[in-house]
A and B are shown apart, each in its own frame.
Chain A
Amino acid sequence: MTQTGNNTTLEAHELECIRDDRILFSNLGFRLEPGQALVLEGRNGSGKTSLLRILCGIRLPEAGMVTWGATDIGKLGADYHVHTAYVGHRDGIKLDLTPLENLAMARALGKPSDITLEAALEKVDLCGFEDVLTRNLSAGQQRRLALARLLVTDTVLWILDEPFTSLDTHGIKVIEKLLEQHTASGGMLAVTSHHAVNLNNTPTQTINLSA
């Protein structure tokens, strides 16, 4: 399902990020291979979200660069984005659309995966909510819908900002299972989380930005 090889390595080189005059981090580097996970830890405001947005290519680092298969992601543009999926602070779903409509839009924005939209909803435990307006779902259900976006396109690198926000213990288990399946099939993860992330079967590197 996902391609493997040298061209799917994510590397960060000497990244520096400054916000409001404060150096959040500098000289930060790492290397992420298929099947691996990167977990970012740190206090509020330590730059976790900023780092994820730099990895997405939304934000420019003050210095340094991010490469995908040894090419600068700024140069790759859409050729990089086709391999990535991002779930940020904000869910990235429209409250006035139904879950199915939301997923259809998300799928059209990337390279479609083989899974049907209904099956994607089932995987995040949203069976039976296909045609309800998203506005009427609970916060946890909305978050799970946002995470279902990850499944409807065929991507290697998942970049997740606090994926477990507003999820209950059952929801967290469901999502953790999805993440493990993803890395098991050669996918990559970059995650920030307040909760301890339980990825027992995945080789994980942790970066603490407060240190």
Chain B
Amino acid sequence: MNSDSLTRAYTLLLKRDLILAIRRRAEMLNPLLFFVLVTSLFPLGIGAYPELLETIGPGIIWVAALLAAMLSLDGIFRSDFEDGTLEQFLLSSHPVSVLVLAKVLAHWLITGLPLLLVAPLLGILLGLPADAIRTLLLTLLLGTPVLSLLGAVGVALTVGLRKGGMILSLLVLPLYVPLLIFAANAVDTAAAGLPVTAHLSFISALLVLALSLSPLATAAALRISLS
């Protein structure tokens, strides 16, 4: 198959997933609401001391982002698995990893990108300074695609299981640790008025690594899960 038809399949699949999301837009809001809700539980749980909140704010927001992303992960492949379209992707004449990439990109546009829209709001709620909020947005921009990419491997492995949800979190969360460490720390560092280029470079490196390897792993995992 030539690259033209591959590009067509890629864009069509991306478009298809976005159309599907728009036709069921009520579901799109759920991870976003979860993100806001979990973050606002923390001040209630530990007390609204401005200094404390500012210290732990970046960590809270990032942990909430991890959990929100994780809850939405199942959507990447679950419905396609149930109606049999996932099978068709495996039987297509294109490399499955490229199709996977289109699906992950769609998933990120639907669930990852919206987190960026409400993140400044949460930053203000937790009393983060403006510099920190800017860094928070940058880390989310670079980091949420990593969440989707790594998560896709986990979903691909559990998509055939009846109770995949709990296992999925066990598989995926430990892999998120490096991102959490660097992203939350970058926001911390920015709040202290220090440069964060090193952090951002590291997160970018994670993104590049995930971008190049995870579609291959996901494709292999899908073949196994569906066999």
Direct contact of A and B (CB under 8 A): yes
In the complex, besides A82-B1, A93-B84, 9 extra interface pairs with C-beta distance below 8 angstroms are A56-B91, A81-B91, A89-B84, A92-B83, A105-B12, A108-B9, A109-B91, A111-B1, A112-B5
* Residues in B whose Cβ lies below 8 Å from that of A91: 83-84
B93–A94 CB distance below 8 A = no
Question: Which residues A82-102 have CB closer than 8 A to chain B?
Answer: 82, 84, 86, 88-97, 101
One of B1, B87, B93 near A88 (C-beta < 8 A): B87
Chain A, interface residues (CB within 8 Å), range: 20 to 34
Given contacts A93-B85, A94-B16, contact A57 B23 (CB under 8 A): no
Whether, in the assembled complex, B197 has its beta carbon less than 8 Å from a beta carbon of chain A, the answer is no
A81–B92 CB distance below 8 A = yes
Chain B, Cβ-Cβ closest to A87: B84
Q: Mark B6-47, 1 if CB is under 8 A from A, else 0.
A: 001100110010011001100000000000000000000000
Question: Which residues A43-97 have CB closer than 8 A to chain B?
Answer: 53, 56-60, 78-79, 81-82, 84, 86, 88-97
- Considering the chains assembled together, what is the distance between the CA atoms of A109 and B226 in angstroms? 18
Count, chain B residues at interface, CB 8 A? 28
Whether, in the assembled complex, B94 has its beta carbon less than 8 Å from a beta carbon of chain A, the answer is yes
* Chain A contacts to B: CB under 8 angstroms: 53, 56-60, 78-79, 81-82, 84, 86, 88-97, 101, 104-106, 108-112, 149
* Residues in B whose Cβ lies below 8 Å from that of A97: 16, 19-20
* Chain B contacts to A: CB under 8 angstroms: 1, 5, 8-9, 12-13, 16, 19-20, 23-24, 79, 82-85, 87-95, 223, 226-227
A95–B83 CB distance below 8 A = yes
One of A90, A101, A105, A111 near B87 (C-beta < 8 A): A90
Given contacts A78-B95, A82-B93, contact A90 B82 (CB under 8 A): yes
* Residues in A whose Cβ lies below 8 Å from that of B94: 78, 109
* Residues in A whose Cβ lies below 8 Å from that of B23: 96
15 contacts between A and B (CB under 8 A): A56-B91, A58-B223, A58-B226, A79-B93, A82-B1, A82-B93, A86-B87, A94-B16, A96-B20, A97-B19, A105-B12, A105-B13, A109-B88, A109-B91, A111-B93
* Residues in A whose Cβ lies below 8 Å from that of B24: 96
* Residues in B whose Cβ lies below 8 Å from that of A104: 12
Q: Is the interface of B mostly helix, strand, loop or mixed?
A: helix
- Considering the chains assembled together, what is the distance between the CA atoms of A111 and B223 in angstroms? 21
Given contacts A78-B93, A78-B94, A82-B1, contact A106 B83 (CB under 8 A): no
Chain B CB within 10 A, most for which of A59, A78, A93, A104: A78
Q: Report B93 CB to chain A, min CB distance, Å.
A: 4
A86–B88 CB distance below 8 A = yes
- Considering the chains assembled together, what is the distance between the CA atoms of A95 and B94 in angstroms? 24
Chain A, Cβ-Cβ closest to B7: A108
Q: Give the A-B contact count at a CB cut-off of 8 A.
A: 83
A108–B13 CB distance below 8 A = yes
- Considering the chains assembled together, what is the distance between the CA atoms of A22 and B65 in angstroms? 46
Q: Report A18 CB to chain B, min CB distance, Å.
A: 13
* Residues in A whose Cβ lies below 8 Å from that of B13: 105, 108
Q: Report A97 CB to chain B, min CB distance, Å.
A: 7
Given contacts A58-B226, A60-B227, A101-B16, contact A110 B93 (CB under 8 A): yes
Given contacts A82-B93, A92-B87, A95-B83, contact A105 B16 (CB under 8 A): yes
Given contacts A60-B227, A90-B83, A91-B84, contact A108 B12 (CB under 8 A): yes
Q: Report A43 CB to chain B, min CB distance, Å.
A: 23
Q: Report B94 CB to chain A, min CB distance, Å.
A: 7
One of B9, B79, B85 near A92 (C-beta < 8 A): B85
* Residues in B whose Cβ lies below 8 Å from that of A95: 83
B84–A109 CB distance below 8 A = no
Chain A, Cβ-Cβ closest to B13: A105
- Considering the chains assembled together, what is the distance between the CA atoms of A188 and B92 in angstroms? 18
Given contacts A58-B226, A58-B227, A60-B227, contact A106 B88 (CB under 8 A): yes
* Residues in B whose Cβ lies below 8 Å from that of A57: 91
B19–A101 CB distance below 8 A = yes
Q: Report B185 CB to chain A, min CB distance, Å.
A: 41
